[in-house]
Structure 1
């Protein structure tokens, strides 16, 4: 099992087979060999530095919200643990 991170394609460099994606407001360069037809504005799932699949906007939104909830929960747990230390 792998965990795909929802991202939006910002730029594509077809010559190098890479793209710049927006992941929770952060920019990252990813390999697009598995989705060579990716274009700016597309939504993709990213795993281990590679876009592994294109997804529709609804799927992207659902995944984004689940990740956001999980990250928010982890932030709260970290803050509580840090305050107790």
Structure 2
């Protein structure tokens, strides 16, 4: 099973967005080719396999990241604040 993750757009160049994962230091270059709606720097996206699937509200992104951190914590004992995203 694969999980789509929320990312925040840091910059946009043509059909590619440079995005930050959560609050960590992980960055992804994401294709905007599949996006039907306009996006801008600061927007949050759901990303899977390098493609932005949809734009989401900040509150939804924060809640999703919180849940992912808690899942990792339960799986291997990592403290949620030490997950790196």
- TM-score, normalization by structure 2: 0.76
Q: Which residue of 2 aligns with 1:73?
A: 74
Where structure 2 has 5 or more consecutive residues not aligned to the other structure, the ranges are 79-85
Using the TM superposition, give the Cα deviation of residue 39 of structure 1 relative to its aligned residue in structure 2, in angstroms: 1.1
Moved over 6 A (4+): none
Question: How much is the aligned-residue C-alpha RMSD, in angstroms?
Answer: 1.9
Where structure 1 has 5 or more consecutive residues not aligned to the other structure, the ranges are 78-85
- TM-score, normalization by structure 1: 0.76
Question: In the alignment, is residue 32 of structure 1 matched against residue 32 of structure 2?
Answer: yes
The separation in 1 between residues aligned to 2:12 and 2:76, in whole angstroms, is 32
